[in-house]
Amino acid sequence: MNKKLFVLLIALMSLSLLGIVFVQGYWISNAYRTKADQFTINAKQVLLAVSKEIKLREVEAYYQLYIPYVDSIEVPNSATFTELAYRIQNKQTNETYIFTDGILEQDYKLSAGFFDSDADTIQFRKLTNRKTKTKVSEGLDGTTLTETRVESFSRLKDYEQNQFESFVSNITALTPIYKRVSVSEITSLINKELKERGLKSKFDFAVYSNNLETKVRSKRFKYDDKSTYVVPLFSGEKKSGYELYVNFSEKEKLVLNSILGMALLSLVFTAVIILAYSSAISQIYKQRQISQIKTDFINNMTHEFKTPIATINLALDSLKNPKVKDNREFLERYLGMIRDENKRMHAQVENVLRISKLEKNELDLPKERVSLQEVVEDAISHVSLIVEDRGGYIKTHYGALKSTVLANESHLTNVIVNLLDNAVKYSEDEPKIDIYSENGKNSVILKIRDQGMGMSKPVQKKIFEKFYREHTGDIHNVKGHGLGLAYVKRILDDHDAEIYVESEKGKGSTFIIKLHLIS
């Protein structure tokens, strides 16, 4: 895929994902605001209902005092009677029932002086409800019989609402608030209204008069601009200006709980999408890297094979020369060159096959008791000639008293050979290699230290990745394909062993292997 197109697709996908996250955040925020507004509406409805209940209770109390004086008046100013009647006939029994429902309205005027009020008179309407049932039937002699019975007789509300409430307000305006309403009454009314609306919230309240706090308050009341609501108490009174402040301390908790389930699900799904997206991008990026590395690998491998093939061809052409055929020294030299180049190509092919088998889990690694010290000595023998040819050395410093491990001797030897070969290749001058061993808790630790080029911290994190080689531009002083250390890591993983590196640029590297001991 074209690099620009790839970057464009990633950018568009990232913007889309950010858009989804933004929409989810907006939805959750909007849901929270909606629930908060709904709570505010319910809270205000609760307080308005409480305020109305308190006022009606006070008016009703004065009304009960007012009733006896209304009843003592014999002649009302006016009276009207409204009656509704309906008839039901039973054809089988030849009986007829007549039901009536009537209301008697009587208007009175009563002096207000009884209540020490400034008003001269109070308009009063007395309402009386009467329900009757009349049975009409025929007697044996053909006469008509009627039987009337009063079903109910009751008093209804007896006063002009607005005028009487105004009258009561004038009387109670100068009464102390603690005599008009109590803490227990307000608490009971608020609890009742909250229960009716299905709200469960702790609350505290206080009654204020012209912005000054009164004695009617709960112990823990504290004003909070976000969770405190206000309604007028005894509305219509100009002098007192009483207001009921109620603080719902659990408002935010209730609002959050109401959207918590959906919000969590939304966040979980969004997180899954983000993780899947991140993983997909990471995999795509890695695949692009691997693709690029494989291309470089093929190019390097072609170059690596081209040189020995050319050398072998030249050697073979030289062997055809009659002068060379008769010269044993030249003959052995060219044959040695062919043999060495052939080994070199064989080693490269073997590395590729090893990695391929390891990836497919086709490499069978039977293990047995082996001495790590003997394995190290065997590995040294494979590279000693190369080290000596370059004027270097390999010194061993065995400090481990126990070195018996459960391992595959052949592959463990290859691991040590690969590490030693790296130490030789990455030593610019004569290779100087020291090998140390020591015992840890139930383990043996092997350290292979060189005085070569070393490596930076970022490189140390990637050297065990397949095909990885430190980037040095177009110059490749050290030939290789990044397969040796990947093979080392895979084999040691199979042995349940650990390997890590300590290095500093220009000061050499130390590879540390930790293997489990067996008794």
Residue 397 near residue 436 (C-beta atoms within 8 A): yes
Q: What pLDDT is recorded for position 328?
A: 78
Q: What pLDDT is recorded for position 346?
A: 76
DSSP conformational letter for 482: S
Q: At residue 37, what are phi and psi to the nearest 5 degrees?
A: -65, -40
Rounded Cα gap, residues 423 and 508, in angstroms? 9
Residue 325 near residue 319 (C-beta atoms within 8 A): yes
Q: What pLDDT is recorded for position 456?
A: 84
Give residue-wise pLDDT tens across range 332-383: 877 877 887 787 677 667 656 665 665 555 556 788 999 999 999 988 887 7
Q: What pLDDT is recorded for position 283?
A: 84
User: Which candidate, 384, 380, 422, 425, places its Cα nearest to that of 398?
Assistant: 380
Rg of the chain over Cα atoms, rounded to whole angstroms, equals 51
137-145 mean pLDDT: 64
104-120 mean pLDDT: 57
Using the predicted structure, report yes or no on whether residue 117 has a pLDDT greater than 60.
Answer: no
Confidence label for 399 from pLDDT (cuts 50, 70 and 90): very high
Which residues, including other chains, have CB under 8 Å from residue 214's CB and lie 6 or more apart? 177, 178, 206, 207, 208, 242
Q: What pLDDT is recorded for position 473?
A: 45
- Two structure tokens written together for 487: 């093979």
Q: What angle do CA 438, 354, 509 make, to 5 degrees?
A: 35
Residue 234 near residue 240 (C-beta atoms within 8 A): yes
Residue 295 near residue 301 (C-beta atoms within 8 A): no
Least confident of 77-91, 276-290, 441-455: 77-91
Confidence label for 167 from pLDDT (cuts 50, 70 and 90): low
Using the predicted structure, report yes or no on whether residue 194 has a pLDDT greater than 80.
Answer: yes
- CATH architecture designation of domain 364-516: 2-Layer Sandwich (3.30)
Confidence label for 1 from pLDDT (cuts 50, 70 and 90): low
Choice between 474 and 53, residue whose per-residue pLDDT is larger: 53
Which residues, including other chains, have CB under 8 Å from residue 486's CB and lie 6 or more apart? 355, 464, 465, 466, 467, 468
Q: What pLDDT is recorded for position 145?
A: 67
Rounded Cα gap, residues 94 and 136, in angstroms? 9
Q: What pLDDT is recorded for position 470?
A: 59
pTM (two decimals): 0.44
Q: What pLDDT is recorded for position 512?
A: 94
Strand partners, 502: 510
Choice between 447 and 39, residue whose per-residue pLDDT is larger: 447
User: Which candidate, 300, 292, 297, places its Cα nearest to that of 476?
Assistant: 300
Could you write out the three-class secondary structure of 146-182?
A: EEEEEEEEEECCCECHHHHHHHHHHHHCCCCHHHHCC
Q: What pLDDT is recorded for position 374?
A: 93
On the 0-12 / 13-18 / 19+ scale of CB atoms within 10 A, 154 is exposed
| Average pLDDT score over the chain | 77
Choice between 241 and 482, residue whose per-residue pLDDT is larger: 241
User: What's the start-to-end Cα distance of the chain, in Å?
Assistant: 56
404-429 mean pLDDT: 87
Pairing of strands 95-111, 204-209: unpaired
Give residue-wise pLDDT tens across range 30-68: 888 888 888 888 888 888 998 888 888 887 777 776 666
Between the CA of residue 242 and those of 62, 204, 219, 234, 310, what are the distances in Å? 20, 17, 19, 7, 107
Which residues, including other chains, have CB under 8 Å from residue 275's CB and lie 6 or more apart? none
Strand partners, 243: 208, 232
Dihedral of alpha carbons 214, 217, 221, 226, sign: negative
- Two structure tokens written together for 242: 């009483």
Is residue 266 left, alpha or beta, with left meaning phi > 0 and alpha meaning psi from -120 to 50? alpha
- Two structure tokens written together for 396: 């061993």
User: Which candidate, 376, 365, 438, 439, places its Cα nearest to that of 406?
Assistant: 365
Q: What pLDDT is recorded for position 372?
A: 93
Give residue-wise pLDDT tens across range 251-263: 888 888 888 888 8
Dihedral of alpha carbons 340, 342, 348, 350, sign: negative
142-166 mean pLDDT: 59
Which residues, including other chains, have CB under 8 Å from residue 459's CB and lie 6 or more apart? 470
- Could you tell me what percent of the chain has a pLDDT over 90? 11
User: Which candidate, 257, 250, 210, places its Cα nearest to that of 228?
Assistant: 250
- Two structure tokens written together for 290: 């691997």
Q: What pLDDT is recorded for position 240?
A: 64
Q: Which helix (H) or strand (E) holds 511?
A: strand 509-516
382-411 mean pLDDT: 87
Confidence label for 481 from pLDDT (cuts 50, 70 and 90): very low
Give residue-wise pLDDT tens across range 381-396: 877 877 887 889 999 9
Q: What pLDDT is recorded for position 2?
A: 67
Q: Which helix (H) or strand (E) holds 64?
A: helix 3-71
Using the predicted structure, report yes or no on whether residue 170 has a pLDDT greater than 80.
Answer: no
Using the predicted structure, report yes or no on whether residue 476 has a pLDDT greater than 50.
Answer: no
Altogether, the residues listed in the chain come to a count of 519
Confidence label for 406 from pLDDT (cuts 50, 70 and 90): very high
Rounded Cα gap, residues 51 and 61, in angstroms? 16
Which residue, chain included where needed, has tokens 């009302």? 76
Choice between 99 and 412, residue whose per-residue pLDDT is larger: 412
User: Which candidate, 282, 306, 302, places its Cα nearest to that of 294?
Assistant: 302
CB atoms within 10 A of CB 335: 12
- Could you tell me what percent of the chain has a pLDDT over 70? 71
Cα pseudo-dihedral 262, 266, 271, 272, rounded to 10: 100
Rounded Cα gap, residues 52 and 58, in angstroms? 10
Using the predicted structure, report yes or no on whether residue 310 has a pLDDT greater than 50.
Answer: yes
Q: Yes or no: is domain 255-350 CATH 1.10.287.130?
A: yes
Domain boundaries, the chain: 3-59+173-249, 73-167, 255-350, 364-516
CA atoms within 13 Å, Cβ hemisphere of 25: 7
Using the predicted structure, report yes or no on whether residue 296 has a pLDDT greater than 90.
Answer: no
User: Which candidate, 181, 204, 232, 174, places its Cα nearest to that of 58?
Assistant: 181
Using the predicted structure, report yes or no on whether residue 513 has a pLDDT greater than 90.
Answer: yes
CB atoms within 10 A of CB 355: 20
Q: What pLDDT is recorded for position 136?
A: 74
